[in-house]
């Protein structure tokens, strides 16, 4: 715009006509030039943000918006429950199935194949809740703590699991102690097999299976490394199997007690992990490890005793020789023996891991102590060799004078 830049804007109408014509011809590009008191100033354009939105349906887009996507899928089932035509299908996913009571009575439930629909729906809810806790609780706390990358990963994992285990322990204890009174009346664990479940107990067990199932897509959503995929998938599938098998075999009273014991030890472990990540001076490291190991060993012993008493002695009193799949009766010796063997192997595996980790830590601590003792000697040797090297670089006259000075100092001593 050479004519525009050279024109005088004090009272001349030609310049305004020129501005108007250029504005019509060039459109919004004239907005970069603003006349003010006889001069024309150039306004710098606003910089475009470097962060571009990822393309739709790309991996990054799905990872960033996975909570919104999953919540929309869950809302489809909720909306389907409101429509009369689709309500029977949607209720299979949302409401608890296999009700064995008549109308007007307190609802009691058994396990069955339709429960997998509810497990799928509640796994979607677990994904959404996981993202909410991560964004609005853990991310805000981690920004204030200024943790390293390794400690941040431990903080996020232990934070999620500590919240889940804490809520689950309170829920399980409420069912065991307050509602069903399995403790101190331990005979109820094997009485009236297969016993129906109340609403809160069945919902608790379905959410436990759903949480194990939701851990599989979370590996993708949390950008887990490929090297860790096999280990975490194996852990999630093992937990899913160990909860789902007793659930569908109707050993639910024993199952909820074993889950409560296991979750108490896991809750203690992850709370101790959180304390260790926050504790920069490592004042509470040894104490938290001892507490975690002690609680874990007590939980394993309690699980073994409870499983042996229930499966080997209690349920054997009402044993039948034949399976009854329609009635959901699986109280036969081979089934109980397989379950008991699996529980014992699981408890031994957890105990072996804890002992192995404790021995590895003791070896590392001994290695660090010995290395700190050896380091000063190495420094002295290095200093002596350095002095010898420095003297060897000197001429012979200076080397002889240094030797004479050393001999005189030794004689005076």
Do 20 and 125 have their domain in common? Answer: no
Do 222 and 131 have their domain in common? Answer: yes
**Domain annotation covers residue 81:** no
The per-residue pLDDT for 104 is 78
**Domain annotation covers residue 390:** no
Do 216 and 140 have their domain in common? Answer: yes
Nearest to 243 by CA among 216, 270, 212: 212
State how far the alpha carbon of 112 is from the alpha carbons of 73, 90, 395, in Å.
Answer: 24, 17, 94
Residues in contact with 10: Cβ distance below 8 Å, sequence separation at least 6, in sequence order: 38
Q: What is the pLDDT of residues 122-137, one digit of tens each?
A: 999 999 999 999 999 9
**Domain annotation covers residue 350:** yes
pTM (predicted TM-score): 0.77
Do 112 and 255 have their domain in common? Answer: yes
* Interatomic CA distance for residues 193 and 412, integer angstroms: 97
Do 164 and 21 have their domain in common? Answer: no
**Domain annotation covers residue 37:** yes
Do 249 and 316 have their domain in common? Answer: yes
Overall average pLDDT of the 388-404 stretch: 53
Do 200 and 315 have their domain in common? Answer: yes
CA 175 to chain centre: 26
Nearest to 93 by CA among 72, 78, 112: 78
Do 28 and 107 have their domain in common? Answer: no
Q: What is the pLDDT of residues 320-368, one digit of tens each?
A: 778 888 888 899 999 999 999 999 999 999 889 888 888 888 888 777 7
The per-residue pLDDT for 283 is 81
Query: Which of 298-307, 317-326, 367-376 is the least confident region?
Result: 367-376
The per-residue pLDDT for 13 is 44
Do 36 and 100 have their domain in common? Answer: no
**Domain annotation covers residue 79:** no
The per-residue pLDDT for 405 is 60
* Interatomic CA distance for residues 160 and 138, integer angstroms: 8
Give me the number of domains the chain comprises. Answer: 2
Query: Which of 27-36, 117-126, 325-334 is the least confident region?
Result: 27-36
More confident residue, 143 or 49: 143
**Domain annotation covers residue 52:** no
Query: Which of 12-21, 85-94, 147-156, 335-344 is the least confident region?
Result: 12-21
Do 262 and 123 have their domain in common? Answer: yes
**Domain annotation covers residue 406:** no
Do 222 and 325 have their domain in common? Answer: yes
**Domain annotation covers residue 393:** no
Residue 9: give the domain boundaries.
2-42
Do 10 and 147 have their domain in common? Answer: no
Helix orientation angle between 285-307 and 252-278, rounded to the nearest 10 degrees: 170
């Amino acid at each position: 715009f050479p004519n525009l830049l050279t024109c005088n804007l004090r009272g001349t109408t030609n310049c305004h006509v020129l501005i108007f014509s250029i504005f019509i011809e060039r459109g919004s590009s004239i907005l970069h030039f603003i006349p003010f008191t006889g001069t024309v100033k150039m306004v710098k354009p606003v910089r475009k943000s470097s962060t571009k939105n990822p393309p739709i349906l790309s991996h990054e887009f799905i990872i960033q918006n996975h909570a919104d996507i999953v919540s929309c899928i869950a809302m489809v089932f909720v909306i389907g429950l409101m429509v009369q035509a689709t309500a029977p299908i949607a209720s299979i996913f949302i409401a608890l199935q296999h009700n064995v009571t008549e109308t007007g009575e307190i609802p009691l439930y058994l396990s069955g194949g339709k429960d997998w629909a509810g497990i799928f729906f509640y796994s979607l809810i677990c994904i959404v809740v996981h993202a909410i806790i991560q964004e609005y609780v853990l991310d805000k706390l981690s920004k204030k703590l200024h943790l390293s990358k390794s400690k941040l990963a431990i903080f996020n994992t232990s934070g999620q699991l500590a919240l889940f285990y804490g809520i689950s322990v309170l829920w399980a204890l409420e069912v065991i102690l307050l509602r069903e009174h399995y403790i101190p009346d331990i005979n109820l664990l094997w009485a009236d097999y297969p016993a129906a479940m109340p609403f809160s107990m069945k919902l608790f067990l379905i959410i436990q299976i759903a949480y194990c199932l939701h851990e599989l897509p979370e590996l993708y959503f949390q950008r887990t490394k490929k090297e860790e995929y096999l280990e975490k998938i194996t852990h999630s599938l093992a937990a899913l199997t160990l909860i789902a098998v007793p659930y569908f075999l109707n050993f639910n009273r024993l199952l909820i007690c074993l889950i409560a014991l296991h979750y108490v030890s896991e809750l203690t472990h992850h709370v101790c992990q959180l304390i260790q990540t926050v504790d920069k001076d490592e004042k509470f490291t040894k104490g938290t490890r001892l507490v975690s190991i002690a609680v874990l060993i007590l939980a394993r012993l309690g699980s073994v005793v409870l499983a042996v008493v229930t499966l080997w002695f209690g349920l054997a009193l009402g044993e039948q020789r034949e399976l009854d799949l329609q009635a959901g009766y699986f109280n036969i010796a081979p089934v109980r023996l397989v379950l008991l063997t699996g529980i014992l192997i699981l408890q031994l595996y957890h105990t072996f891991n804890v002992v192995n980790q404790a021995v590895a830590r003791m070896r590392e601590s001994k290695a660090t102590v010995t290395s700190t003792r050896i380091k000063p000697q190495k420094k002295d040797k290095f200093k002596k060799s350095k002095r010898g090297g420095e003297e060897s670089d000197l001429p012979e006259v200076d080397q002889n004078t240094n030797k004479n000075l050393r001999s005189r100092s030794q004689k005076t001593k």
